[in-house]
Amino acid sequence: MLTFLSQRLLQIIPTLILVSMLIFGLQQLLPGDPALIMAGEERDPKVLEEIREQYRLNEPIPIQYFYWIKGVLAGNLGESMRLKASVSSLVAEKLPVTLQLAAMALVVALGIGIPAGIISAVKKDTAWDYGANVFALWGLSTPNFWLGILMIFLFSVTLGWLPASGYVRLGEDWRASLATTVMPAFVLGNAIAAVLMRHTRSAMLQAMSADYVRTARAKGLYEKRVVLKHALRNAMTPVITLGALEFGTLLSGAVLTEQIFTIPGFGKLIVDSVFNRDYAVVQGVVLVTATTYIVLNLLADVAYVLVNPRLRG
Amino acid sequence: MGLALSGAAAQSNLRIGLAEDPDVLDPTLARTYVGRIVFASICDKLFDIDEKLNVVPQLATAHETSADGKTVTIKLRPGVKFHDGETFDAAAAKYSLDRHLNMKGSFRRPELASVTSIDVVDPATIKLNLKEPFSPLLAQLTDRAGMMVSPKAAEAAGDKFGLKPVCAGPYKFVERVQQDRIIVEKFADYWNKDQVFIDKITYLPITDSTVRLANLRSGSLDMIERVLATDIKTVRDNPKLKLVTAVELGYQGLTINLSNGPKADTPLAKDARVRQAFELSIDRDALNQVVFNGEFVVGNQWINPTNPYYQQAFPVPKRDIAKAKALLKEAGVTGRMSLDFMVPNNPETRQVAEVLQSMVAETGFDLKIRVTEFATSLKQSESGEYQLYLIGWSGRSDPDGNSYIFQVCGQPQNNSGYCDKDVDAWHNEARIKSDPAERKKIYEKVAAKYLPEGSIKYLYHRRVLVALSDKVDGYKQMPDGLIRVVGVKLK
């Protein structure tokens, strides 16, 4: 197990280096001059030159990369040109927000998708099944921004139940925090719920026609028990894997959702930073996201190996 | 618990929705319009403007310009404290101005470029020494260049001052969560505290204008800035909302590339008659009706028609296709003229571009609209990669701030490469004169030359649109569009 772990850890290093180069290189391809954006309306040539010098924008790209990566290795992700705040502090401020949103969205997705899938499989070819399928189709084809604006109009403007936007930290006031995140979490979880529903349905249908389910029924077990204990348990394995994979969709989907609901998370940070050509922030955020993916991947691999020792080879 | 709750409820909180997240809150390093809205509550300036664009004292009480125009003596308001309890005096004023002039990366330096040094005359008086007379200087001191910071706090924080600004405004900075909120609280020792009625202000940046308005309608916000012109009806139809407006100080216009790189090789750039023909093909009123429901103000100059410096001798020209075609013929232009038209990407500018495209097509101009992301379009305008560029300017209270850097040879924002000795001389003359009537005469000469043959075709002036809930009382809109909170009450 140790050899496996050390091998995988060693593989991460070149991946991260490659990722960091890609982030840096791709960003340099963006048209537009960060110094020009930074200088705002008062674009005095002397001030522009000073900005370029201060942020090493005059240097060749490999040199800029060298300074950046040197800082990163020392634990310094750089400083936002626009806000004069350290990128690490911005990341530390925003990451919990997006994670909260993603976790809530996952709850929404699992809470709606799996029961809907089970019902639709058990009640196949009934109104329940058709209803669930229509819901899934709707969930898959509804754009986030449209659903978001629609919900704001219904629940905030018309009914006045929920705040239209903004964010309150969980630790500050948990009720207000839930009130500000429930709509974005629903919007974000909605599409994933649809995917999960479809997969749960087909996995359940497969499981329900399996021999062990027939045996369970033959033994005279209650239908509820057959469905929930025997069929569902086996059907869930691929669904849970899919749920984990969809976590990535959550993080990227958060970009638009955070923009609509003005949730100050990773998504909003990255969009604003790209428009302002605040390179250090974009680099920092993408690097942290990539690292998170890589680490999650590693954890998943480790989990597989723990479950199935034959994979250690 | 009950007491604490009632105490919290008693504290009035004005929630203002901003169209963007401000940049750094340091008056020396800040550069966004939205940042100025926040500064209006935390950082007082030496001077301010009134509804008619007159310069009025704020932290100063009076000023005097010497006969040769080379020194400006400013009397300072007594009894003013900074948020950290430090006293505002001549030494502090000198410190703030020196900081604007000397700090690395200062955006105020070009604005104060005419100032060579600052003397402390006595604790309540400073003297600004100038290279040469510069009449727009006082107007500069009504904005960030005139904002005073606490020397002690600024010295301690260095370039991180903007993370926790300490000034002498009616509200003191409490907290900021980037892209989420900025909270300021009433400053108990404010010099004009009898006029400050609200305990706390929360600024919330909400970029989507539809969502910003939804927040106001649902009562989550009390006030929003930059309402879309197309949403004016929604606001007016809602009995719980009020709309206040002012015509913007700046302008929206078309910049024509006259001599910046190979793309300038067009009859439009080479012949002023072609530019006149182009202008005569445009119906500004129709443009305003179609895109903005007639809510904006059409214009043909770098200042709007309500500005005291507007030249009545040059009214907005009417559309005249026959004359335009005749001018083109005179200039020897035959066939359709294809032009690369760069348009920054937002729904409003795209519509303006399309309307213009169809208007000028009748005369023979074929505009190829190229929608370009804003940051990219700035870069391309610098390097001359355009023939026509739809771009505006947020505006300054002095007309010089709207014209000099665009119209004078080699100026930083003169990306079209317009250059004329007479126009340069007149602009420089207007900078020296301080009598408004005299200056207006000089600008008339500029208008006579620049409007027909210059590089910018001014189209219209937006309205600064601020919508507020009927709970907000006593709000007055100033022409610079900023939200001033002194005197505002919350019912």
Cβ contacts of B205 on chain A, cutoff 8 Å: 262
Q: What is the pLDDT of residue B361?
A: 96
Q: Which residue has the higher pLDDT, A168 or B242?
A: B242
Residues of chain B with pLDDT under 70: 1-10
Distance CA B152, CA B161 (A): 11
Count the Cβ atoms, other than its own, within 10 Å of residue B470.
12
The count of C-alpha atoms lying within 13 angstroms of the C-alpha of B168, restricted to the half-sphere facing its C-beta, is: 31
Residue B462 gets which letter from DSSP?
P
Strand B388-393 with B200-205, pairing: unpaired
Residue A28 has a pLDDT of 79
Measure CB to CB from residue A164 to each of B178, B214, B393 and give the nearest one.
Answer: B214
| Reported confidence tier of residue A57, pLDDT bands at 50, 70, 90 | confident
* Phi, psi at A203, each rounded to 5°: -65, -40
Average pLDDT, chain A: 84
From A261, A72, A98, select the one nearest B215 (Cα to Cα): A261
Q: Name the region of B354 (left: φ>0; alpha: ψ -120 to 50; beta: rest).
A: alpha
Which uninterrupted H or E stretch holds B400?
helix B400-407
pTM for the predicted model, two decimal places: 0.86
CB pair distance less than 8 Å for A152 and B208: no
Task: Tell me the shortest Cα–Cα distance from B175 to chain A, in angstroms.
Answer: 13
Identify all chain B residues contacting A53, using CB atoms and an 8 Å cutoff: none
* B379·A44 Cβ contact <8 A: no
Three-state SS sequence of B24-75: CCCCCCCCCHHHHHHHHHHCCECEEECCCCCEEECCEEEEEECCCCCEEEEE
pLDDT digits (tens, 9 = 90+) for B29-41: 998 889 999 999 9
Interchain contact, B206 vs A165, CB within 8 Å: yes
Across the interface, do B215 and A164 touch by the CB < 8 Å criterion?
A: yes
| Of B388, B68, B128, B91, nearest in space to B260 by CA | B388
Q: What is the least distance, in Å, from the CA of B394 to any CA of chain A?
A: 8
The H or E element spanning position B426 is helix B421-432
ipTM of the complex, rounded to two decimals: 0.77
Q: Provide the shortest C-alpha distance from residue B205 to chain A (in Å).
A: 8
Do A84 and B181 count as a contact with CB atoms less than 8 A apart? no
Closest Cβ opposite residue A43 in set B21, B177, B412: B412
Mean pLDDT for A54-58 is 84
**Interchain pair B378, A33: CB under 8 A:** yes
- The count of CB pairs under 8 A between chains A and B is 134
Which residue carries 């909605």 as its tokens? A190
Task: Tell me if A39 and B31 make a contact (CB, 8 A cut-off).
Answer: yes
Residue of A46, A165, A272 to mutate for B, most B C-beta atoms under 10 A: A165
Within 8 A of B220 by CB-CB distance, chain A residues are 156, 163-166
Task: Compute CA distances B317 → B202, B248, B300, B387, whole Å.
Answer: 45, 21, 8, 23
Give pLDDT tens digits for B177-223. 888 899 999 999 999 999 999 999 999 999 888 889 999 998 889 99
| Cα nearest neighbour of B181 on chain A | A166
Q: What is the pLDDT of residue B2?
A: 41
What's the confidence (pLDDT) of residue A304?
66
Q: Chain B: give the shortest CA distance to residue A156, in Å.
A: 6
Lowest pLDDT segment from A66-75, A104-113, A217-226, B310-319? A217-226
Q: Are B40 and B201 in contact (CB under 8 A)?
A: no
Q: Give the pair of three-digit tokens for residue A201.
A: 């349905």
Under an 8 A CB cutoff, do A157 and B218 touch?
Answer: yes
Axis-axis angle for helices A174-208, A87-122 (nearest 10): 40
Residue linked to tokens 């030494």: B91
Contacts of B179 in chain A (CB under 8 A): 262, 264, 268-269, 272
pLDDT-derived band of residue A307, with 50, 70 and 90 as boundaries? low
Distance CA(B187)–CA(B149), nearest Å, equals 15
The one-letter amino acid at A162 = L
Q: Which of B177, B215, B218 sits opposite A93 (nearest CB)?
A: B177
Tell if the CB–CB gap between A45 and B394 is shorter than 8 Å. no
Q: Among partner residues A157, A160, A269, which is closest to B179 by beta-carbon distance?
A: A269
| Residues of chain A contacting B39 with CB distance shorter than 8 Å | none
Determine whether the interchain pair B104/A157 forms a contact, defined as Cβ–Cβ distance below 8 Å: no
Tokens of A199: 């997969």
